[in-house]
């Protein structure tokens, strides 16, 4: 299965992009380019926000890949609130200029999908993980490892989209969701993983390795 059976411009933005382009074109036709150019800039912003490039995951069953483009804002020990076990949390913050489609960090079976309503505080803040609207999926890899991947809404983000359900199978790097206009994704990993990133690192969904599973005995 091709993990990227989708167009280069995310379907979530087609209507918004069509409206932005139509409005800019109408204003230019009626009032000229001087009045229309701010609307063309808005349309350009919408176009770049909803870009959704296909990416091929690096090979390796021990790799845990970035689920989103952005900047690492947290790497810390904690308790996974969805599986109630010790974990290492790695958080990726997406600003409005990052690609916002979300990709599976591993190949695995979706064991659980949990949605929580909440607030819309700045997703750059760590309290957003517990206070904001969020959607979590628990994945089990073919090797029996478990992790939790959480889409978290942000200050501007008002729509979390998740396209998988319990029992679905995902490939590493496969697109499974989208968050509109700035947000974060939290990964809760077993403490024994080897973390490969630090706070401040910039990562790319599917291409960047966040951590590695321990070697099998």
- Count how many Cα atoms sit within 13 Å of the Cα of residue 96 in the half-sphere of its side chain: 11
Residues classed as catalytic: 183
In order of 36, 83, 101, 181, 214, the CA distances from 155 in angstroms are 28, 27, 17, 9, 36
Q: Residue 32 contacts by C-beta under 8 Å, 6 or more apart in sequence?
A: none
Q: Are 69 and 203 in contact (CB under 8 A)?
A: yes
């Amino acid at each position: 299965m091709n993990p990227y059976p989708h167009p280069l411009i995310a379907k979530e933005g087609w209507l918004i992009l069509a409206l932005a382009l139509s409005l800019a074109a109408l204003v230019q036709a009626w009032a000229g380019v001087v009045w229309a150019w701010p609307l063309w800039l808005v349309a350009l912003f919408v176009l770049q926000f909803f870009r959704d490039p296909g990416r091929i995951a690096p090979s390796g069953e021990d790799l845990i890949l970035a689920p989103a483009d952005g900047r690492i804002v947290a790497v810390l020990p904690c308790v996974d609130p969805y599986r109630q076990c010790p974990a290492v949390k790695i958080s990726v913050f997406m600003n409005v200029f990052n690609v916002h489609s979300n990709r599976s960090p591993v190949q695995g079976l979706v064991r659980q999908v949990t949605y929580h309503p909440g607030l819309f505080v700045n997703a750059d803040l760590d309290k957003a993980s517990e206070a904001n609207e969020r959607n979590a999926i628990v994945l089990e890899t073919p090797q029996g490892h478990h992790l939790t991947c959480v889409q978290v809404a942000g200050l501007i983000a008002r729509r979390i989209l998740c396209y998988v359900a319990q029992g679905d199978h995902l490939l590493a790097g496969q697109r499974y969701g989208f968050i509109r206009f700035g947000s974060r994704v939290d990964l809760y990993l077993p403490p024994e993983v080897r973390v490969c990133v630090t706070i401040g690192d910039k990562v790319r969904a599917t291409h960047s390795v966040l951590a590695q599973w321990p070697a099998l005995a």
